[in-house]
């Protein structure tokens, strides 16, 4: 395939074109307009009540999906500015202009805001719970005496078995945000392509592939046409959009550093835990940290000493929180280097790794992720929360799927199922009716199952819990 070009990658095309009426007083770029569409949406506001790590937490310090998304937007914009300036300064691309530098910063800021907008309640565990529900139950479901699994095509089935918040995000912003019409938020193709982290369907996933683009699905069978329109307009085809690498780096940087800070505040790790882990990191990677200006262990200890000098209430807390900020600065530099040093491979669509791969930041990123897994995600406190979340999601999936099987068919639907379907947002039902028109019986059934996941993914943590309690008569 041809090398990707920024002029096409930064496509301002939208699913619904302009009305042709231009307001001379509106000086915003198309990507700045995207920003205002996003922050004014109900879907974005709901992120304030969705889990990042700690579900239904009563602390006002702990991050939610909303605060996480704002941090990703901030890091994405900073990385975009750094990388854009580097491309201009070192003339890496003759067609790259100062306006393009501004455009990629705006796109990345917007992409950071919506990258998790499709995630269900209760964080990544919610995704896992929904996938496992389908793996357990789809083979047993029947419709008109036939096994549902036999009625669906292979891709339809795999969409549910590999249910993915990334694919749901594309679906939400292009189909489900039914405000003006069926085009959702009607965002630019340049932005939409940036949030497609995995440009493959569910039937082509390779979880252990050396190429990160293949490890999850990026779009549902139901949304294949919009995927093809977007990637044709930007010229990416089945390759990753270059800005997707930057978005992913901003996301990884945000959550890996934030998880450590939140874990510290919640008491899962201490200053001394972090100090010990950093001692081992520097011992195992002495060749790196002898050669960099950022030495994680030394920085942490210096910050604690400064906290003691300042007589702060907790020198350890002062050290950890300020160390996080310093680490973020170091890792932004590493991601910038990761992109610019692999620029040609990225633009050819041949780069297979994340932006930290092969940089001085890679061991630190690995350590932060591993620490969160060992000290937080594998603890009994988190397991207990996940058992509660599993009970809620399994119950809701059981009742909702049963209710939609006969929806919009000639089959009788009992009174309770009818009442349950009435709870589903009109936005989602409008999208179902629009996209099911003229479709086969099997595809309509597939779209009704998607109607359930659309509704569940639109729920906040509190709403899912409250609906579970109300449907079980717990008042």
Tell me: the pLDDT tens digits for 365-377? 999 999 999 999 9
Residue 120 makes CB contacts below 8 A (sequence gap 6+) with 126, 127, 129, 130, 165, 168, 393, 453, 456, 457, 459
Per-residue confidence band for 289, with pLDDT thresholds at 50, 70 and 90: confident
- Burial annotation 265-304 (CB, 10 A radius, 16+ → b, else e): bbebbebebbbebbeebbeebeebbeeeebbbbebbbebb
Per-residue confidence band for 236, with pLDDT thresholds at 50, 70 and 90: very high
Q: Using the 8-state DSSP alphabet, how is residue 138 labeled?
A: G
* Contact present, 216 and 203 (Cβ < 8 Å): no
> What length does the chain have?
475
Q: Give the pLDDT score at 66.
A: 94
Tokens of 435: 């996209």
Per-residue confidence band for 272, with pLDDT thresholds at 50, 70 and 90: very high
pLDDT tens, residue by residue, 60-83: 557 889 999 999 999 999 999 999
CB-CB neighbours of 205 under 10 Å: 18
Q: Give the pLDDT score at 292.
A: 76
d(CA 276, CA 273): 5
pLDDT tens, residue by residue, 377-411: 999 989 999 999 999 999 999 999 999 999 999 99
Mean of the per-residue pLDDT values of the chain:
93
**Angle between helix 271-284 and 315-340 (nearest 10):** 40
pLDDT tens, residue by residue, 180-197: 556 779 999 999 999 999
Tokens of 441: 């019986």
d(CA 212, CA 252): 14
d(CA 475, CA 469): 7
CB-CB neighbours of 100 under 10 Å: 18
Residue 77 makes CB contacts below 8 A (sequence gap 6+) with 105, 106, 108, 109, 112
Per-residue confidence band for 451, with pLDDT thresholds at 50, 70 and 90: very high
Residue 73 makes CB contacts below 8 A (sequence gap 6+) with 108, 109, 110, 111, 112, 113, 250
Looking at residues 288-292, what average pLDDT do you find?
79
Q: Give the pLDDT score at 61.
A: 59
Tokens of 468: 């579970």
Handedness of CA 323, 324, 329, 332 (dihedral sign): positive
pLDDT tens, residue by residue, 320-335: 999 999 999 999 999 9
Spell out the alpha helix ranges (H) of 138-270: 148-151, 154-161, 165-171, 189-194, 224-234, 242-265
CB-CB neighbours of 133 under 10 Å: 22
Tokens of 247: 């978005």
pLDDT at 243 over 70: yes
Q: Give the pLDDT score at 97.
A: 97
């Amino acid at each position: 395939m041809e090398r990707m070009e920024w002029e096409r990658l930064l496509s301002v095309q939208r699913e619904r074109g302009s009305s042709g009426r231009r307001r001379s007083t509106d000086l915003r770029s198309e990507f700045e307009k995207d920003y205002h569409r996003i922050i004014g949406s109900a879907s974005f506001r709901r992120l304030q009540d969705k889990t990042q790590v700690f579900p239904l937490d009563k602390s006002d310090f702990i991050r939610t999906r909303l605060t996480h998304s704002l941090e990703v937007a901030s890091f994405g914009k900073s990385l975009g500015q750094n990388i854009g300036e580097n491309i201009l300064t070192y003339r890496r691309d003759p067609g790259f202009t100062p306006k393009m530098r501004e455009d990629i910063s705006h796109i990345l800021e917007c992409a950071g805001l919506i990258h998790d907008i499709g995630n269900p309640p209760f964080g990544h565990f919610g995704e896992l719970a929904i996938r496992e529900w389908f793996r357990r139950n789809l083979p047993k479901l029947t419709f008109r005496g036939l096994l549902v699994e036999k009625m669906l095509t292979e891709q339809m089935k795999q969409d549910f078995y590999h249910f993915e918040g990334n694919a749901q995000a594309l679906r939400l912003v292009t189909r489900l945000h039914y405000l003006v019409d069926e085009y959702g938020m009607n965002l630019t193709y340049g932005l939409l392509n940036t949030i497609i982290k995995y440009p493959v369907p569910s039937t082509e996933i390779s979880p252990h592939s050396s190429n990160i683009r293949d490890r999850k699905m990026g779009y549902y069978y139901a949304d294949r046409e919009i995927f093809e329109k977007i990637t044709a307009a930007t010229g990416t085809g089945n390759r990753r959009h270059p800005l997707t690498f930057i978005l992913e780096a901003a996301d990884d940087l945000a959550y890996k550093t934030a998880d450590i800070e939140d874990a510290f505040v919640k008491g899962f790790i201490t200053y001394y835990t972090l100090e010990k882990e950093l001692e081992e990191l520097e011992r195992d990677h002495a060749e790196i940290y002898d050669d960099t200006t950022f030495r994680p262990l030394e920085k942490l200890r210096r910050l604690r000493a400064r906290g003691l000098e300042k007589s702060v209430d907790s020198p350890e807390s002062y050290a950890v929180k300020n160390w996080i900020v310093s680490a973020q600065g170091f890792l932004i530099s590493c991601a910038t280097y990761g992109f610019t040093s692999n620029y040609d491979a990225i633009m050819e669509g041949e780069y297979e790794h994340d932006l930290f791969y092969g940089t001085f930041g890679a061991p630190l990123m690995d350590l932060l992720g591993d620490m969160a897994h060992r000290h937080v995600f594998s603890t009994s406190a988190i397991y207990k929360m996940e058992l509660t979340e599993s009970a809620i999601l399994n119950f809701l999936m059981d009742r909702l799927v049963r209710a939609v099987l006969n929806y919009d068919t000639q089959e009788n639907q009992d009174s309770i199922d009818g009442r349950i379907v009435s709870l589903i947002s009109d936005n989602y039902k409008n999208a179902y009716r629009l996209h099911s028109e003229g479709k086969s019986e099997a595809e309509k059934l597939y779209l009704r199952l998607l109607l359930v996941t659309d509704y569940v993914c639109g729920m906040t943590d509190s709403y899912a819990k409250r609906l579970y309690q109300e449907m079980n008569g717990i008042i």
